[in-house]
Amino acid sequence: MTQAHWLRRLLAVALLQAAGSAALAADVTWATPGSGFWDDPAHWPGAALPTGADDVTVDLGSAVAVVRQLPGAPSSPLSRYTVASLLAKSPFEHAGGSLLVRGDATFEDTFNWSGGVIHVDSSIPSGTWTFRKGLHLTAPGLVGMNAGAVELQGTSIIEGGVGILFGAVPVHIASGATLDIRSGDRFAVQSSLINDGTIDRSAGTGTFEIFLRGGGNQGAVRNRTGVLSFISGFDTLTHAGSFSVDAGAELRFSGAHSFANTLSGTGNVTFSQFQDFTVDAARFALDGTVTLENGAKGIWSGDGSIRNLRFNSANFLPQGQVTVINRARVDGIGFVIGGAGSRTRFADGLDLHGNFIVNSGLVELGGDTVVQGNVGLGVGNDATLTVLSGASLRVTNDATPTGTGGIFGPGRFVNQGIVQRDTGTGEFAFSMSEFVNEGRLVLKSGRVSAAVDFQQTADGTLAVDLGGFAGPFAVAGDARLDGLLEVRFADGFLPALGDTFELMTFGARSGAFALSTAGEAARAGYTYALHFGEHTLGLEVTGLAAPIPEPATHALFAAGLALVLGIKRRSSG
């Protein structure tokens, strides 16, 4: 056999094989509405249901094509309908069973998913499922899809009893498309979910979860009601799109998320679990409450402001200049871990229900902060905690965050406002590397110690209530003294002549106070002497004011004066 003849025979065989293969595949059209059910052979050419080799077109005009579980069929295994490709030009409803498409499936009209599953067998390859007018989920239970890719166009509506579970199926919400969530529990994608359109939680009161392992929001997300929760399964999700939340609603994020666009609205945002949540501080515009909980790390990149920040055993990592407006609430424990050069200003103070620890960076307290019960403040190695001018830090009861009570840690504490020990009989300790008083340190009750160096500047005042403060103010390190020592009397207390009060002890001292008095202690007649020892400062009462007459004495004196004046007038007459 010549080579040319051999090539001609080989070509002929190939052509026959191609013709045979083409004969196996067919273009099948369902154009007879009938009862509308896929599983009725009478609808199909030759009264035979299409097979996995058929390219199927459904063109019923306005009639609805329905895929359903065969009557009397067991719930498992599901009735399966397999085709090579599918183009549905008519309204479509998936009501039961499993529809498998080896290639692409395109639905040009409405698609209602009321039951059953789509391409449940992930071992059979599948193409892209495109829903040009979106899909409408009304199934009472959980429905799923395990292969292919999903393209959602138009408006999709989720109002099923549970929701949708996509297996290894990437889902894309196209630009201009909307996913409208009205009820149900979840939209779970065990692959990537990319939103280039709009996700809108428009109705419902409970929590709706969107679970994804990749992708992110590149368009817009709005939550109008209930809780809309985004759960990241693996790597950090970077969201280039915007998020907004209405009053009374909540956006919740678990797993690692990074936000490059705006987070806004009058509702609440919660970052939960031991993951990083990176926010562009300049684009953060939320008026509701921001909650960091369960070990979450809120990383605020750049300069900006936050309203209503709440810690619940979580971390705040500012990288720039951040102002927290309205009192920040601390439940459990709250950490601030500032970046180099960062400054966090709590403009309206802290509402402490747990310990608050500044690990690094500069933290400033405005407003009124109260330390009470078993809560306290910590200051780390590279941290400075400052009470601002016009602000106050008040200690009530016996605060015992570490068993001994106080503001603790190896960092630096600066008071420019008022630090006041209000009530309590035990000891409250300042246990930082340095305590600088540029404002007013008011000791009204109990004992106060500083297991550090203490410096009072020329603008500072140490105010002591004699008869209330148990004394002394025990400074373990160096005491560098300037400014005023202001002496007052506790309510109902009057000293005796010669009484001596030990006000302060220190490891070493430089400088001295100027003495001033206030209230009852400033009455004419009271005189005092300061006694500086090598390690102590005492105050002696060296003179007493004249006693103030009792009310009855005043009345008797007035009556006597009136009698004298009356007698004098009669004598003159």
Residue 16 confidence (pLDDT): 35
Mean pLDDT of the chain: 89
Which backbone phi and psi does 121 adopt, to 5 degrees?
Answer: -90, 100
The answer to whether the CB of 229 falls within 8 A of the CB of 202 is no
In order of 335, 373, 541, the CA distances from 468 in angstroms are 34, 20, 16
Residue 404 confidence (pLDDT): 46
- For residue 241 the two structure tokens come to 């799109």
Residue 398 confidence (pLDDT): 67
- The total of other beta-carbon atoms located within 10 Å of residue 26's CB is 16
CA 113/CA 376 separation, integer angstroms? 56
pLDDT in tens, 190-219: 999 999 999 999 999 999 999 999 999 999
Terminal Cα distance for the chain, rounded: 170
The answer to whether the CB of 344 falls within 8 A of the CB of 336 is yes
Write out 469-512 in H/E/C secondary structure: ECCCEEEEEEEEECCEEEEEECCCCCCCCCCEEEEEEEEEEEEC
Cβ-based neighbours of 571, under 8 Å, separated by 6 or more: none
Map out the domains of the chain as residue ranges.
366-573
CA 545/CA 547 separation, integer angstroms? 6
CA 372/CA 379 separation, integer angstroms? 17
pLDDT less than 70: residues of the chain:
1-25, 73-76, 373, 398-405, 548-573
Judged on CB neighbours under 10 Å (0-12, 13-18, 19+), 168 is middle
Residue 305 confidence (pLDDT): 96
Buried b (16+ CB within 10 A) or exposed e, 337-346: bbeeebbbbb
Residue 223 confidence (pLDDT): 98
Residue 371 confidence (pLDDT): 87
Of 41, 18, 16, nearest to 28 by C-alpha is 41
Which backbone phi and psi does 11 adopt, to 5 degrees?
Answer: -65, -40
CA 307/CA 316 separation, integer angstroms? 14
pTM: 0.86
Residue 226 confidence (pLDDT): 97
Judged on CB neighbours under 10 Å (0-12, 13-18, 19+), 259 is buried
- For residue 404, the Cα-to-chain-centroid distance in whole angstroms is 31
Residue 456 confidence (pLDDT): 97
